[in-house]
Amino acid sequence: MNTHRPEPVRNPELKEAVEEVRKNPGTESSVRLFNEVVRARLLAPIHLDRPPEFDKESGEVILEKDTEISFELISDKEDNLYYPVFTDGEELRKCDIEEDQQSLIVNFEDLSAMLLNEENKVKGFVINPMSDNLVFSTEMIAAMKKDMEKGPVDMEDDTQEDLDDFENKEETEE
């Protein structure tokens, strides 16, 4: 029997980076935060159109072919939609969710692919909306992807503008 269990989703480095950017806003803490967001495995609440099966032997959840997955959405005061994502199960449970809520592990690449799709109407994602409420807009995500394609961050170019935009967005969200 396979006793391998998937690692629980925990992001202590990301949570530390969020705390640091709140205490000491600036270029260095923002770059660290961006890097941690890119590395993180996050929980996204989802709904499935049919219940999944659980393979006890492998410990894996199995979805039937053609199972439809829909992601939960939250809205801001202007009714803009965002994907809520969570650093860990504890943060996920802070939301008013159903007892049998399903979640999917996603990363920055997954989220950016969903958000940068031309047909997408969702404005970004929010990390821990019930506590940290850290908003990443599609514009910010596109800038992060562009900077990632360039290679290592050069703080003398447009990355500084992206960081300034991030810090301004943070101030308006609170």
User: What is the reported pLDDT for 144?
Assistant: 94
The Cα–Cα gap between 83 and 115 comes to 9
Q: Please name the residue that has the structure tokens 């935060």.
A: 33
Could you give the CA distance from residue 33 to residue 59 in angstroms, rounded to a whole number? Answer: 33
Residue ranges in the chain whose pLDDT is less than 50: 1-2, 154-158, 172-174
Give the pLDDT confidence of 34-68 residue by residue, as tens digits. Answer: 999 999 999 999 999 998 898 888 878 889 999 99
Query: β-strand 124-127 against 74-75: which pairing, if any?
Result: unpaired
Q: What CA–CA distance (Å, rounded) separates 68 from 89?
A: 23
Answer whether 40's CB lies under 8 Å from 87's CB: yes
Domain limits, the chain? 12-173
